[in-house]
């Protein structure tokens, strides 16, 4: 896949759009983002020392109902990359990649639909490698910290590109979701309740069991019961 590497961009998700007219799959990476963004309109800390990657992918037969597979593949790519550096990463539904309970990366997927199909997707991934995450209040971790040694951003970037370009299955995603089969706390709005996490469905919903009744969650906050 074509790859372009920049020193600085506003956002790799924005920068990769320059390749839209050619309708080719491409990966854009940058050492810094000045206007990095995360989910729900949040800003994303993007100083030097992280790996910031966005892929522009075109699809012909991917149904919108299966769009979650794009997100799942991105999360698996990050986990595989961490594993190459001796770090075991786990996925917290839906797409948080954690090491030791702390967030290793951010993933933002922006899909363009045409009818019932995904026409194209921009997949943004930002991985903490050696950047300063102190200001995040202890909720994040760098890959260098997790590995116990300084890591090169270039090495991590190259590994992430390689792993992103590899195929993955939904089973690869499920194998890395940490809390399946365990009791979790489910927060929906202002209500928190106890449930057993059963599985993640291919459409991205989380299947849980409460009081012998199964149901699937489209959105909720999940935390492991301590």
**pLDDT per residue over 66-83, tens digit each?**
999 999 999 999 999 999
Looking at every residue in the chain, the average pLDDT score rounds to 93
User: What is the mean pLDDT of the segment spanning 178-182?
Assistant: 91
How far apart, in whole angstroms, are the C-alpha atoms of residue 95 and residue 204? 10
Does 41 score more than 70 pLDDT? no
**pLDDT per residue over 85-140, tens digit each?**
999 999 999 889 999 999 999 999 999 999 999 999 999 999 999 998 877 778 99
Q: What are phi and psi of 185, to 5 degrees?
A: -95, 125
| Cα of 147 vs its chain's centroid, Å | 19
Alpha-carbon Rg of the chain, whole angstroms? 17
Pure H helices in the chain: 12-15, 68-84, 143-147, 153-165, 170-174
Domain boundaries, the chain: 2-174, 183-224
Does 178 score more than 90 pLDDT? no
Specify whether domain 183-224 bears CATH 2.30.30.
yes
CATH of domain 2-174: 3.30.930.10
> Which pLDDT belongs to residue 69?
97
Does 42 score more than 70 pLDDT? no
Q: How big is the CA angle at 28 (ends 26 and 30), to the nearest 5 degrees?
A: 170
């Amino acid at each position: 896949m074509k790859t372009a590497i920049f020193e600085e961009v506003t956002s790799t998700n924005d920068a990769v759009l320059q390749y839209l007219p050619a309708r080719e799959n491409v990966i854009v990476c940058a050492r810094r983002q000045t206007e990095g963004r995360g989910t729900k309109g949040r800003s994303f800390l993007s100083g030097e020392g992280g790996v910031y990657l966005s892929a522009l992918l075109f699809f012909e037969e991917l149904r919108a109902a299966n769009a979650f597979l794009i997100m799942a593949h991105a999360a698996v790519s990050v986990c595989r990359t961490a594993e190459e550096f001796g770090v075991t990463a786990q996925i917290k539904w839906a797409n948080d990649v954690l090491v030791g309970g702390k967030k290793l990366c951010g993933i933002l997927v922006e899909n363009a639909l045409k009818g019932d199909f995904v026409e194209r997707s921009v997949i943004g991934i930002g991985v903490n490698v050696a950047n300063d995450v102190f200001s995040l209040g202890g909720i994040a971790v760098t890959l260098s910290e997790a590995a116990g040694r300084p890591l090169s951003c270039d090495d991590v970037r190259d590994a992430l590109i390689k792993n992103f370009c590899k195929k993955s299955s939904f089973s690869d995603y499920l194998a890395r979701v940490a809390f399946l089969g365990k009791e979790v706390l489910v927060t929906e709005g202002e209500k928190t309740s106890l449930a057993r996490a059963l599985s993640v469905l291919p459409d991205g919903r989380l299947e849980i069991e409460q009081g012998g009744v199964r149901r699937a969650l489209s959105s909720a906050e999940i935390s492991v019961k301590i």
